């Protein structure tokens, strides 16, 4: 019985490349009982991915995979897809690269397009590598599937992976996908870096004036450049068209007789588009609530805070520490389950902590 | 005895304009025992601000204020500052507008600069109006003070307001302030709107591919245009210079022979700048080094980890937690001073923690 006949849950999956995306897929599928093997050109990355539950190494006598997921850097993806199609002639092969047209063309050129299905899980983090992997990385995120000339059974197998990881499957043509992601992902990355680079002339004290707006706009500017360079090369046509659009709008503001009027027009058009972004208030956020505490910036305070939180039998799910320059106190936010928040606030007040907001 | 002789705590403060910023200042000062009066061109806004504790209305027989805080929209601020300087000839006058040069020039032109001190509290919310006011809005935020030609006693009075609201006082020249905020605030707003506007050609299904990156970059693009139009007009020189910088960088990517190489250069420069933003969660802030530990995802583990870190006399400066709810372990990164890292690693290994990287 093959996976396609027996249902996707029994499919054997092999993941080539266990960076952030590959390892996250491995963790999520393994947790759901799938039979997952992994391989990576870097033995240390493979060992780390195994240690955090992404799957077991591919032994010589392992059964052949039903599905191979290529999760290598975009520039290497086309070669790895074709190699995988040839190495496992019974397997469906997919990949996770952010640009889909060039990969579809590579599979077609090799004459193997009927076993190739393009994937693009629209999830990521500003950090990379298997150490940042999360089994729930894809939850409630779009997972684009580009069928190309593959049969429905092959598409169904890939879609089953996406659904198991609780992603939302979206079928698109490869070229339409590439045009869209230039605008929703690739050009925003370039613009964020340009905004960040424009801080260059400022002194450190000037940069310290940054508020949450700048932090939000430039968060993705912390990304590693290598993957984005690959993406820009693979999707240069659509990316350049989008940059043209953005540059023209910025030039209109720069050159206007009344800069206020020009900016009002741009902001109004931007607001209309922002309103079209689904779930624009954070997307699939977890159901935690923040409790923000004023914490003296001295040794041992964080431990004392967590000890006091633990004394209320409250488990802290996440911590955000906001360090304020030139000031003896900082704001630390503890993220907890909603039902725990009142008890946490009471316990911290009883221990003489000052709550900034909850 | 005047407020300046008797200490700032006894100063009488009048606030002109009780939108988000004016009402928040009123609430915060009133809560700390200051004598605060308020006025607003909109009687309903004034009543609301009084009801939420921002201060009492200015009666005809009220004692004259020692300090007047002008908190009206940026386009009206210069006139309101000059009017206030003339109405209360013994008072120090400050304002809270986001652009400081034009206000300093207006006070100087009126021959009243020796009683004018510029303020820019770097705080705000996505919502506006007195209804969103919070007495703690300024806690741990920068509050820029531009002394101009005012004496130290006048600057001290304004700084006392900022410190009472637990803000972080930063003294700057007005022109340097305006050049800085063009880069950390005004141009990022324009760029965010341009990125959003570039979504225009996409179908709704394409926009639905948006990930967290686009949401972050475009969050501030949802702002109301009116205030930003004012700011752009008042700070057009510095804003245009910053837009030039951003446009040139985008053009370099657009026009490059190798778009990947050009983007790598831009991202590298952007990363250097992002790392300078204080308190940037996840960025390479300050001179801390990361020690990443594999932590079982069960209650109390984080506290145990910090307790073990403290047992080595290591102070943890920041924490990053990688959550993997469907994974039995998570990765927690402790950021510590470089000289503390070896001792921390040794202590954690001795306590049977598994170090993922250091």
Bridge partners of B38?
A: B15, B57
* Axis crossing angle, helix A225-234 with helix A74-87, rounded to the nearest 10: 70
Residues of chain A with pLDDT > 90, as a percent, come to 66
Residue in A51, A42, A111 with CA at minimum distance from that of residue A71: A42
Closest C-alpha among B319, B347, B346 to residue B335: B319
Give the least confident one: A80-94, B7-21, B104-118, B218-232: B7-21
Measured between beta carbons, which residues in chain A are less than 8 angstroms from residue B326? 27-28, 31-32, 135-136
Mean pLDDT of A211-235: 92
- Number of A:B CB contacts under 8 A? 456
Boundaries of every domain in chain B: 3-172, 177-274, 289-357
**pLDDT per residue over B142-174, tens digit each?**
999 999 999 999 999 999 999 999 999 999 999
Question: What's the pLDDT tens digit per position in B289-342?
Answer: 888 888 876 778 888 898 898 888 888 878 877 654 444 566 788 888 888 899
Q: What are the chain A neighbours of B308 within 8 Å (beta carbons)? A: none
HEC string for chain A? CCHHHHCHHHCEEEEECCCHHHHHHHHHHHHCCCEEEEECCCHHHHHHHHHCCCCEECCCCCCCCCEEEECCCHHHHHHHHHHHHHHCCCCEEEECCCCCHHHHHHHHHCCCHHHEEEEEECCCCCCCCHHHCCCCCCCCCEEEEECCCCCHHHHHHHHHHHHHCCCEEEECCHHHHHHHHHHHHHHHHHHHHHHHHCCCCCCHHHHCCCCHHHHHHHHHHHCCHHHHHHHHHHCHHHHHHHHHHHHHHHHHHHHCCCHHHHHHHHHHHHHHHHCCCCCCCCCCCCCCEEEEEEEECCCCHHHHHHHHHHHCCCCCCEEEEECCCCCCEEEEEEEECHHHHHHHHHHHHHCCCEEEEC
A110, A85 Cβ separation under 8 angstroms: yes
A328 touches chain B (CB under 8 A): no
Q: Would the pLDDT of B239 be above 70?
A: yes
Which residues, 6+ apart, have CB-to-CB distance to A281 below 8 Å? none
Long-range contacts of residues B29-34, Cβ cutoff 8 Å, at least 24 apart: B29/B55, B29/B161, B29/B164, B29/B165, B30/B54, B30/B55, B30/B135, B31/B135, B32/B164, B33/B9, B34/B9, B34/B164
Q: Does A204 touch chain B (CB under 8 A)?
A: yes
Confidence of residue A1 (pLDDT cuts 50, 70, 90): very low
Query: Taking Cα atoms as reference points, which of A83, A126, A103, A331 lies closest to residue A219?
Result: A126
Q: Do B303 and A306 touch (CB under 8 A)?
A: yes
Q: In which band, very low, low, confident or very high, does the pLDDT at A285 lie, cut at 50, 70 and 90? A: very low
pLDDT score of A62: 73
Global pTM value = 0.75
Residue of A nearest to B323 (CA): A134
Q: For tokens 């339409």, what's the residue?
A: A176
Least confident of B10-14, B40-44, B195-199, B287-291: B287-291
pLDDT at A87: 96
Q: Determine the average pLDDT of the residues in A31-42.
A: 95
Sheet containing B354-357: order of strands: B318-322, B329-336, B289-296, B354-357
Report whether pLDDT(A320) > 80.
no
Q: Give the closest residue to A170 by CA, choosing from A151, A150, A187, A155.
A: A155
Q: Is B76 near chain A, with CB under 8 Å?
A: no
Span A40-51, mean pLDDT? 94
Q: What is the pLDDT of residue B2?
A: 38
**Chain A closest CA to B76's CA: distance in Å?**
15
Q: Which of A176-185, A343-352, B131-140 is most confident?
A: A176-185
ipTM score: 0.76
For residue A290, the chain B residues in CB contact (below 8 A) are none
Give the list of residues 6+ apart from residue B317 with CB closer than 8 angstroms, or none: A323, B286, B288, B335, B336, B337
State the SS3 of B58-90. CCCCCCCCCEEEECCCHHHHHHHHHHHHHHCCC
pLDDT of the residue at A278: 75
- Per the CB < 8 Å rule, is A217 touching B213? no
Q: Taking residues B236-254, report their average pLDDT.
A: 98
Percent of chain B with pLDDT over 90: 64
Q: How is domain B289-357 classified at the CATH fold level?
A: Alpha-Beta Plaits (3.30.70)
Chosen for mutation from A102, A120, A187, A188 (greatest number of chain B CBs closer than 10 Å) is A188
Answer whether B191 sits within 8 Å of A189, measured CB to CB.
no
Calculate how close chain B gets to A28, using CA atoms only, in Å: 7
Query: Contact, A233 vs B263, CB < 8 A?
Result: no
Tell which of B197, B223, B275 to mutate to test the A interface (max A CBs under 10 Å).
Answer: B197
Question: How far, in Å, CA of A33 to CA of A26, rounded?
Answer: 11
What distance in Å separates residue A38's CA from the closest CA in chain B?
17
The pLDDT, as a whole number, for residue B132 is 67
Query: Residues 7-66, chain B: which have Cβ within 8 Å of A?
Result: none
Contact B142 A209 (CB under 8 A): yes
- Give the residue from chain A lying closest to B283, CA to CA: A222
A208 and B176 within 8 Å at the Cβ level: the answer is no
Mean pLDDT across A321-347: 75
Q: Are A336 and A317 in contact (CB under 8 A)?
A: yes
In the prediction, which pLDDT does A338 show?
87
CATH 1.10.3660.10 fits B177-274, yes or no: yes
Residue (of B323, B128, B210, B125) closest to A279 by Cα position: B210
The answer to whether the CB atoms of B271 and A303 lie below 8 A apart is no
pLDDT exceeds cutoff 60 at A110: yes
Which pLDDT score, from 0 to 100, does residue B125 have? 63
Give the domain B3-172 fold.
Rossmann fold (3.40.50)
- H-type helices in chain B, by residue range? 3-6, 20-31, 43-51, 74-87, 101-109, 152-164, 174-181, 187-197, 204-207, 212-218, 225-234, 236-255, 259-274, 301-311, 341-350
Q: Is A307 part of the contact surface with chain B (CB cutoff 8 Å)? A: yes
């Amino acid at each position: 019985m093959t996976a396609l006949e027996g249902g996707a849950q029994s499919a054997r999956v092999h993941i080539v490349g266990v960076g952030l995306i590959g390892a996250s897929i491995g963790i999520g599928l393994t947790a759901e009982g799938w039979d997952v093997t992994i391989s990576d050109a870097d033995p240390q990355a493979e060992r780390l991915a195994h240690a955090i539950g992404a799957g077991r190494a591919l032994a010589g006598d392992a059964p052949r995979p039903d599905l191979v997921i290529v999760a290598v850097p975009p520039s290497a993806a086309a070669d790895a897809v074709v190699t995988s199609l040839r190495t496992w002639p019974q397997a469906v092969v997919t990949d996770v690269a952010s640009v889909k047209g060039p990969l579809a063309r590579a599979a077609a050129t090799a004459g193997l397009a009927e076993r190739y299905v393009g994937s693009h899980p629209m999830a990521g983090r500003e950090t990379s590598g298997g150490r940042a992997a999360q089994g729930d990385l894809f939850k409630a995120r779009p997972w684009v599937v580009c069928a190309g000339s593959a049969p429905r059974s092959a598409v169904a197998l890939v879609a089953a992976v996406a659904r198991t990881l609780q992603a939302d499957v979206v079928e698109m043509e490869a070229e339409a996908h590439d045009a869209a992601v230039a605008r929703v992902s690739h050009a925003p990355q370039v613009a964020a870096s340009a905004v960040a680079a424009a801080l260059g002339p400022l002194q450190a004290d000037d940069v310290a004036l940054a508020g949450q707006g700048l932090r939000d706009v430039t968060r993705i500017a912390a990304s590693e450049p290598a993957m984005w360079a690959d993406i820009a090369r693979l999707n240069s046509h659509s990316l350049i068209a989008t940059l043209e659009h953005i540059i023209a709008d910025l030039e209109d503001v720069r050159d206007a007789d009344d800069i206020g009027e020009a900016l009002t027009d741009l902001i109004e058009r931007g607001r209309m588009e922002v309103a079209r972004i689904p779930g624009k208030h954070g997307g699939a956020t977890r159901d935690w609530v923040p409790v923000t505490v004023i914490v003296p910036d001295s040794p041992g305070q964080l431990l004392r805070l967590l000890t006091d939180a633990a004394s209320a039998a409250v488990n802290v799910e996440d911590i955000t520490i906001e360090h304020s320059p030139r000031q003896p106190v900082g704001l630390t936010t503890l993220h907890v389950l909603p039902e725990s928040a009142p008890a946490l606030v009471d316990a911290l007040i009883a221990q003489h902590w000052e709550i900034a907001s909850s």
